[in-house]
Structure 1
Amino acid sequence: MSIILIIFCVLAAITLSTAFLTIFTRNPIHSAIYLVICFFSIAGHYLLLNSQFLAIVHVIVYSGAIMILFLFTIMLMNLNKEDEVHKPRVTRLGAVVVFCLTCMVLIAIFINSKPIVGEYITTGEDYQSIKVLGRVLLNEYMVPFEYASILLLVAMIGTVLLSKKEKSAK
């Protein structure tokens, strides 16, 4: 086995295990730490694909900025076990049904997908270049790029509103 395949298998194992630990860990701080490790291992996958710029941007944006926002959210919400509201059985059953339906749809899409047959036509442009990547992002994908920024803004406003303590009437 080549060294690249071994590194890929190790990174894949780290990514999958930390992703599952992120979901199944009860402590939100531990969950956030596992998510950071998962983000770093995904950056390792980018490096294996010879995409150094995307790996660095991934580390800066996701592992840095967004995880800081998550940690502030967790700290501001002051999650305690005794304050935790127990979900009714109908809500849990609905979540399980939606999860199963989503899994079935994804499996059906995977089974019915067909590989691309034929010659792959390339344009010859190097998308590793920051100049080309910036031109593509800010010309062709400007609207989704702006939607992502609006989504992050709405998430920050929602975090502030959720963490705001209501004044008690005295």
Structure 2
Amino acid sequence: MEQFLFFFIALVAVASAVYFVFARNPLYAILSLIVTFFSIAALYVLLNAQFLGIVQIIVYTGAIMVLFLYVLMMLNLNAKDESKKQNLTKFIGIFSAGILFVGMLGAYKGLSQSNVVQNIDSSIGLTKNLGKLLFNEYVLPFELASILILAGIVSAVLIGKKDL
């Protein structure tokens, strides 16, 4: 059942990604990208990486898609602007995707079944293990990154502040 669910969600992700590439209406393209992001988050959850799934939903589906929709509304694209695009860029994209597909097919053919690990650790991908690793082994880079982000926020406030 879990394997069927995985393949179904993967099919939804690939179908919505293909629709994103070939959609004529930019709003529908962005909505299909949202479906793609949600299905990728579901795949992360199925692979026992709940933290990555939640981050995928919060960061990409939430913040990035709101930004895309905002830019789309600001650009005010019309259907008459769509006819100005060249077919050469679409052909290059299809050709690149075909080369990627052939490469993935060759990599899949080169896989052997003997490399499959039989003992699966169910604790891999849990947020508890990530927190232990982050606050024990990588505490200095974590704190330096937080100081860097704080400096960026303070700098943005100072730059944007009006002189009185």
TM-score band w.r.t. shorter chain = 0.5 to 0.7
* Cα root mean square deviation, aligned: 3.7
**2:41 — aligned with what?**
43
Q: Secondary structure at the match of 2:79?
A: coil
**1:159 — aligned with what?**
none
Contact kept, 8 Å, 1:18 with 1:38, in 2: the verdict is yes
Contact kept, 8 Å, 2:13 with 2:39, in 1: the verdict is yes
**1:52 — aligned with what?**
50
For residue 32 of structure 1, report the CA deviation from its aligned partner: 0.9
For residue 6 of structure 1, report the CA deviation from its aligned partner: 4.5
Paired residues for 1:16-165 under 5 Å: 16-84=14-82, 85-87=84-86, 91-115=89-113, 117=115, 127-128=125-126, 129=128, 130-132=130-132, 134=134
**Larger relative contact order (C-alpha < 8 A, sep ≥ 6)?**
2
Distance 1:56 1:8, change over 3 A: same
Listed as ranges, the gaps of 5+ residues in structure 2 are 146-164
For residue 9 of structure 1, report the CA deviation from its aligned partner: 4.1
Contact kept, 8 Å, 2:25 with 2:79, in 1: the verdict is no
**1:149 — aligned with what?**
none
For residue 51 of structure 1, report the CA deviation from its aligned partner: 2.6
Q: Supply the distance in 2 between the matched residues of 1:39 and 1:71 (Cα, whole angstroms).
A: 15
Query: What do residues 93-148 of structure 1 show as CA deviations (whole Å, max 9, x unaligned)?
Result: 44444333333233223322445638679999854224145369968x99xxx9xx
Listed as ranges, the gaps of 5+ residues in structure 1 are 147-170
Contact kept, 8 Å, 1:15 with 1:42, in 2: the verdict is yes
For residue 54 of structure 1, report the CA deviation from its aligned partner: 1.8
Distance 1:22 1:119, change over 3 A: closer
Amino acid at match of 1:17: A
For residue 90 of structure 1, report the CA deviation from its aligned partner: 5.0
Contact kept, 8 Å, 1:43 with 1:56, in 2: the verdict is yes
State the number of aligned residues: 139
Distance 1:100 1:19, change over 3 A: closer
TM-score by length of 2: 0.62
**2:162 — aligned with what?**
none
Amino acid at match of 2:134: G
Q: Secondary structure at the match of 1:83?
A: helix
TM-score by length of 1: 0.60
Q: Percent identity among equivalent residues?
A: 29
Amino acid at match of 1:86: K
